[in-house]
């Protein structure tokens, strides 16, 4: 496996796709970027998303690298090699779907299929200057995807072009149809903690788009982040406990996995109660608004050098994880990187209204193009 993708030769079609190596492709082992799975046997059948992708004419050209066991935010991987960030070489590619994003940013594929349990599509997409969609939980079939049991993880696409992302979703999900309405989407601009440069870039984009907009808050947002951490820790430990003492695990993942095993039943019950309360809070706000808008990242991601020196920053996902907990669809759009590091805007839509979310993103993408040419 190279640092970005392991080359395959499957299917035929005009559009190239890379698939994260937590997703089964028949005849190829699924190793999740981990030496602990080095002897994994070849998958016997395609994951459902792979079957669907091939059936609608896409060509799969590789399995994409990732942060080991999909349990990390930097995208670094000492065993397989770390994908370079083609657009921002000094910065991390972002995890855990680092290879899917890096391959698309490098022009090796039009679409990268990743998974998002706590921001793992949206973070690498943002770090690499791309579009990334975490669909509504359960929208795209996860059969054949690691982990088999999850209440957070979603399969979704990454693309350099929003229309490419929309076309992929429409191809693999017949229910995904962009609304024909001419009405402008009503936007709730969420008041969240983020660096000044990020706030300014988001505000500029929203102002340029001239959409009906009001300011709003989600009072449980910070608590939802903590609750999502508790859930992912328990579910990842349950899925990966067989490898917790494997000496081949990377040091960072081994530490996180051992700590995840200490998540108590009480913490999990509290997290599930918070999930229900936060989901209601988001649903109520979306009764009067079509989408929520907020930064994708609260601050600059780690530099690659800092990450390689051992620094960790799970709070980079502070604005991402809450919407895994609630199950709402969320899309990241790249902004002009005027702060010297990747900037991105996140949109969140109603559960099940992934197409409406992408329609709103189209309007904002137009505003971004106008801003970029000024």
pLDDT score recorded for residue 182: 87
Q: What is the CA radius of gyration of the chain?
A: 19
Q: Would you say residue 329 has pLDDT above 50?
A: yes
Q: Is residue 4 very low, low, confident or very high in pLDDT (cuts 50, 70, 90)?
A: low
SS3 255: helix
Of 9-23, 226-240, 253-267, 317-331, minimum mean pLDDT range: 9-23
- Residue predicted with more confidence, 107 or 370: 107
18: tokens are: 């890379």
Residues 136-180 have pLDDT tens digits of: 999 999 999 999 999 999 999 999 999 999 999 999 999 999 988
Q: Would you say residue 13 has pLDDT above 70?
A: no
The residue segments making up the domain with residue 176 are 5-372
Residues 269-289 have pLDDT tens digits of: 999 999 999 999 999 999 999
pLDDT score recorded for residue 266: 98
Q: Would you say residue 229 has pLDDT above 70?
A: yes
pTM of the model: 0.95
Q: Would you say residue 188 has pLDDT above 50?
A: yes
pLDDT score recorded for residue 339: 84
Residues 246-266 have pLDDT tens digits of: 999 999 999 999 999 999 999
Q: Would you say residue 32 has pLDDT above 90?
A: yes
pLDDT score recorded for residue 371: 58
Side-chain half-sphere CA neighbours of 1 within 13 A: 28
Which residues are marked as active site?
A: 20, 96, 120
Q: Would you say residue 73 has pLDDT above 80?
A: yes
pLDDT score recorded for residue 92: 98
- Residue predicted with more confidence, 139 or 373: 139
Alpha carbon distance 52, 93 (integer Å): 27
Alpha carbon distance 105, 257 (integer Å): 30
The residue written with tokens 């997290």 in the block is 271
Q: Which of 52, 6, 250 is closest to 145 using CA atoms?
A: 52
Q: Is residue 11 very low, low, confident or very high in pLDDT (cuts 50, 70, 90)?
A: very low
* The total number of structural domains that make up the chain: 1
pLDDT score recorded for residue 306: 98
Q: Would you say residue 69 has pLDDT above 60?
A: yes
Q: Is residue 14 very low, low, confident or very high in pLDDT (cuts 50, 70, 90)?
A: confident
The predicted model gives 227-232 an average pLDDT of 98
Share the mean pLDDT of the chain. 95
pLDDT score recorded for residue 12: 47
Residues 319 and 192 sit within 8 Å (Cβ to Cβ): yes
The predicted model gives 97-105 an average pLDDT of 98
CB contact set of 150 (below 8 Å; sequence gap of 6+): 117, 142, 235, 239
pLDDT score recorded for residue 3: 60
Q: Would you say residue 2 has pLDDT above 50?
A: no
Residue 8 CA to its chain's centroid (Å): 23
CATH of the domain at 187: 3.90.1300.10
Q: Would you say residue 190 has pLDDT above 80?
A: yes
pLDDT score recorded for residue 44: 98
């Amino acid at each position: 496996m190279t640092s970005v993708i392991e080359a395959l030769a499957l299917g035929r079609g005009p559009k190239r796709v890379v698939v994260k190596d937590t997703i089964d492709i028949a005849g190829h082992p699924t190793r999740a970027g981990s030496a602990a799975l080095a002897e994994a046997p070849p998958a016997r059948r395609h994951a459902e998303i792979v079957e669907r992708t091939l059936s609608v004419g896409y060509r799969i050209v590789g399995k994409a690298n990732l942060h080991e066991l999909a349990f990390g935010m930097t995208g670094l991987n000492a065993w397989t090699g770390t994908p370079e960030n083609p657009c921002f070489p000094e910065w991390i590619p972002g995890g855990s779907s680092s290879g899917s994003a890096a391959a698309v940013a490098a022009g090796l594929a039009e679409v990268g299929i990743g998974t998002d349990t706590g921001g793992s599509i949206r973070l690498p997409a943002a770090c690499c200057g791309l579009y990334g969609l975490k669909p509504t939980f359960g929208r795209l079939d996860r059969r054949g995807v690691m982990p088999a049991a999850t209440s957070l993880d979603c399969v979704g696409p990454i693309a350099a072009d929003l229309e490419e992302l929309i076309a992929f979703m429409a191809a693999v999900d017949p229910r995904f149809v962009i609304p024909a309405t001419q009405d402008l989407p009503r936007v709730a601009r969420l008041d969240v903690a983020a660096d000044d440069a990020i706030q300014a870039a988001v505000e500029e984009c929203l102002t340029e788009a001239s959409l009906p907009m009001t300011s709003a808050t989600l009072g449980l947002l910070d608590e939802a982040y903590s609750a999502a951490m508790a859930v992912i820790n328990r579910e990842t430990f349950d899925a990966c406990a067989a490898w917790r003492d494997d000496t081949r695990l990377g040091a960072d993942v081994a530490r996180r996995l051992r700590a995840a095993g200490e998540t108590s039943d009480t913490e999990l019950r509290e997290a599930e109660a918070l999930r229900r309360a936060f989901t209601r809070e988001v649903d109520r706000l979306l009764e009067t608004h079509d989408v929520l808008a907020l930064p994708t990242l609260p601050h600059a991601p780690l530099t690659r050098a800092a990450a390689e020196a051992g620094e960790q920053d799970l709070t980079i996902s502070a604005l991402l994880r809450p919407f895994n907990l609630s199950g709402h669809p969320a899309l990241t759009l790249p902004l002009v990187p005027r702060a010297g590091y990747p900037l991105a805007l996140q949109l969140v839509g109603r559960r099940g209204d992934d197409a409406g979310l992408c329609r709103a993103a189209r309007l904002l993408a137009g505003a971004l193009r106008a801003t970029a040419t000024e």
